Structure 1
Amino acid sequence: MISRNLPILLSGVLFGAGLTLGGMTDPARVRGFLNLFGDWDPTLAFVMGGAVIVMAIAWQLQPKLARPIFADTFALPSRRDLTPRLIGGSALFGIGWGVAGLCPGPGIAALVIEPISAAIFVAAMLAGMFLIRLTEGNA
């Protein structure tokens, strides 16, 4: 069980370290990126650009692979995955990201750097996750 979860753990640690190094655990930096008409901070654009480059390479490599290394099949999105629930959740995510300056990955990584303020965000995030499960009957 540990050997199967080790790549997941290492990926999460690498992701968190990258977010921290890129300054994405600083809500002021994220808000600075979203402030297009004020003191705009382009740092997040470089982080997003790096992610787009990695994903573009992955999309080119995927058809040449028989199967993923750590799974039986690839789980690729389709247009049927674009539902009103996904669109609404994305809008809510964006609003929360703009207000708090954090999203789930950086919020969890920020627990190490600024535990008090990040804990408030993470608690609110977990409460939202619980509420959606409760309202959809999946609790």
Structure 2
Amino acid sequence: MKALMGYLAGLMFGLGLAISGMTDPARVLGFLDIAGEWDPTLIFVLGGAVVTTFIGYRLVLRRSSPLFGDAFQLPTKRELDGRLLGGATLFGIGWGLSGYCPGPAIASIAGLTAPLAAMLLAMIGGWWLARRV
């Protein structure tokens, strides 16, 4: 049941990305183009995600345990370190150059293009490198 719930959550996330247009890298790059044809769509999608998460966490964490698990798995680390800052920097550079972040990139695999393939290969290389460092 836990795996099914994970699949359904991923499916909802992917559908949300597709419906909102966030699988289109031009939409993301349009948001980053503040000096040109700025597209504010991304800020509304991010705002909706923040509000949903804010409310959702407060409702869910009132429970003593998750519906399909033994205990909540929440992050415990609170300090900033070089690995976190370096990873966030590389993520931002990759997102700004390609217009894709991991979720939309994976959701867009059906329409694979050369830039998307390059981004996915770079992402896999980054995961591999992060495990080695």
User: Do the structures match in fold with TM over 0.5?
Assistant: yes
* Counterparts of 1:132 and 1:81, CA distance in 2: 19
Paired residue for 2:113, among 97, 113, 116?
Answer: 116
Aligned-pair CA distance for 1:108: 0.3
Paired residue for 1:98, among 82, 87, 96?
Answer: 96
Q: Do structure 1's residue 84 and structure 2's residue 69 form an aligned pair?
A: no
By percentage of residues, which structure has more helix? Answer: 1
Tell me the amino acid that sits aligned with residue 112 of structure 2: P
Q: Do structure 1's residue 25 and structure 2's residue 23 form an aligned pair?
A: yes
Distance verdict in 2 for CA 1:97–1:39, change over 3 Å: same
* Counterparts of 2:90 and 2:103, CA distance in 1: 16
Tell me the amino acid that sits aligned with residue 115 of structure 1: L
* Counterparts of 2:22 and 2:12, CA distance in 1: 14
- List per-residue Cα deviations over 1:77-119 (Å, max 9, x = no partner): 345353321121111101110001000000000112x212323
Give the percent of matched residue pairs that are identical in Structure 1 and Structure 2. 48
Tell me the amino acid that sits aligned with residue 45 of structure 1: I
Where structure 1 has 5 or more consecutive residues not aligned to the other structure, the ranges are: none
> CA contact under 8 A between 2:23 and 2:104: conserved in structure 1?
yes
Where structure 2 has 5 or more consecutive residues not aligned to the other structure, the ranges are: none
> CA contact under 8 A between 2:2 and 2:69: conserved in structure 1?
no
Normalised to the residue count of structure 2, the TM-score between the two structures is 0.89
